[in-house]
Structure 1
Amino acid sequence: MHPIVPWLPLLFVPAFAALLGLVSFMVSRMGWSRLAAHYAVAEVPAGVERELLGYVRIGPAKYNNAVRAGLTPQGLWLTTWKIFFIGHPPLFIPWSAFGPVRRQQFLWATTYATHLTSGSDTVSFQFSSERLLRALPPSVPVDG
């Protein structure tokens, strides 16, 4: 038996972790990192109650059941699961960054789409949370 063969199963764990880190980083480059350039924070305050969002799309990347949102009068806090920490710092997006929200219906699913202003850039943001929709201030118009 070759001397490296008993070590092959042990190499699987670091190889899998590296692959997961690379995928997480690449997904973040599709939109989250553009928001992080202006809205990244060190951590979410302990008093902010967060809930898991079933459907979220930031840019072209879908984060179904992987993003937690905290709703405050000042804005929206976003975090991902700890496993996706590479390239996904916590975000605090003030309500003033939200553009008009439009309702989209496809079959039985209702989603809401808007654009978030991040400096001179805009990032598309879609969600399905009714609670997030109700938390939007009156300054953010909702069409449909």
Structure 2
Amino acid sequence: MHPIVPWLPLLLLPAFVGLFCLISFLVSRMGWHRLAKQYAVAEVPASVERILLAYLRIGVANYKNSVRAGITPEGVWLTTWKIFFVGHPPLFIPWSAFGPVRAQKFLWATSYITDIDCGNDSVRFTFSSDRLRQSLPATLSVQE
């Protein structure tokens, strides 16, 4: 038997972790990174209650059941699962950065689409959470 064969499983584990981190980093570049340039924070305050978002799309990246949102009167806090830490710092996005919200219905599901202002450009933000929708301030109009 070749001397490297017994060590092969131990060599595959770091390769898998490295590949996972690379994929997480690349996914973040599809939208989260642009938001992080302006809205990244060190951590979310412990007093903020967070909910799991079943469907969230930032830019072209889908974050199904992997992002938690903390909703406050000032804005929304976003964090990913700890395993997606590479390229995904916590975010605090004030309500003033949100553009008009448009509801889009497909069969029985309703999703809400808006653009978040990031200084020079904007990032498409699509979610399906009714709780997040109900928490939007009155200044944000929702077009049905």
How far the C-alpha of 1:13 sits from its partner, in A, is 1.1
Deviation string, structure 1 residues 43-75 (Cα, Å, up to 9, x no partner): 000000001000000000000000000000000
Structure 1: gaps spanning 5 or more residues = none
Q: Secondary structure at the match of 2:48?
A: coil
- Please name the residue that 1:80 is paired with: 80
Aligned to 1:54: 54
TM-score w.r.t. the length of structure 1 is 0.99
Partner of 1:91: 91
Superposed, 1:112-131 pairs within 5 Å as 112-131=112-131
Deviates more, 1:7-16 or 1:68-77: 7-16
Mapping for residues 1-144 of structure 1, pairs under 5 Å: 1-144=1-144
Distance 1:66 1:105 in 2: 23
Deviations, residues 66-93 of structure 1 (Å, cap 9, x unaligned): 0000000000000000000000000000
| Post-superposition offset of 1:108 | 1.2
Q: How many residues align?
A: 144
Aligned counterparts of 1:71 and 1:87: Cα–Cα separation in 2: 22
Using the alignment, how far apart are the partners of 1:11 and 1:111 within structure 2? Answer: 43
SS in 2 for 1:112: strand
Give how far 1:12 is off.
Answer: 1.5
Moved over 2 A (4+): none
Which TM-score applies when normalising by structure 2?
0.99
For residue 83 of structure 1, what is the amino acid of its counterpart? Answer: I
Q: CA deviation at 1:119?
A: 1.0
Deviation at 1:126, TM superposition (A): 0.3
Which amino acid in 2 is paired with 1:60? Answer: V
Q: Identity of aligned pairs, percent?
A: 69
